[in-house]
Amino acid sequence: MWTKRELYELHKVNACLAL
């Protein structure tokens, strides 16, 4: 189970990779 914080951090990483 992912915590909201983990999902938030993961989203930030994915956003950086998408650039």
Q: pLDDT tens across 1-19, in order?
A: 889 999 999 999 999 998 8
Look at residue 19 in the predicted model and tell me its pLDDT.
Answer: 80
Q: What is the pTM of this model?
A: 0.17
Look at residue 3 in the predicted model and tell me its pLDDT.
Answer: 97
- Per-residue CA distances from 7 to 2, 16, 19 (Å): 6, 14, 19
Look at residue 5 in the predicted model and tell me its pLDDT.
Answer: 98
> Amino acid letter at 1?
M
Residue linked to tokens 């993961």: 10
